[in-house]
Amino acid sequence: MAPELMLTEVTNTLVRELVDEVVADRHLHAEALALACHFDHPAHDCLYLALARREAASLITADRRLRQLSERVLP
């Protein structure tokens, strides 16, 4: 048994280990919205897609639906 705070602590650890840069997303909102509308997918997920497209990067996710969409959208 553990308090919910444990989830935040695990998240912080993962971010420190996996994320090497946090990018401002203001300039990604228009593309994310277009992706969200076109593919009927949540806009917050589409921010990750828009950034991956801009950076020509891969998207790593445990979310099956987002992973399938990334396979369609990303080169």
Give mean pLDDT, residues 7-22: 87
Within the chain, residue ranges assigned H as helices are 5-18, 29-39, 43-55, 64-73
Q: Would 5 be classed as within a structural domain? A: no
Q: Would 12 be classed as within a structural domain? A: no
Q: Would 39 be classed as within a structural domain? A: yes
pLDDT band at 11 (very low <50, low <70, confident <90, very high): confident
Q: Would 64 be classed as within a structural domain? A: yes
Domain that holds residue 52: 23-73
Q: What's the pLDDT at 54?
A: 95
Give mean pLDDT, residues 33-56: 97
Distance, in Å, from the CA atom of 23 to the CA atom of 28, rounded to the nearest integer, reads 10
Distance, in Å, from the CA atom of 34 to the CA atom of 53, rounded to the nearest integer, reads 13
Q: How many domains, in total, are found in the chain? A: 1
Report pTM.
0.80
Grouping H, G, I as helix, E, B as strand and the rest as coil, residue 1 is coil
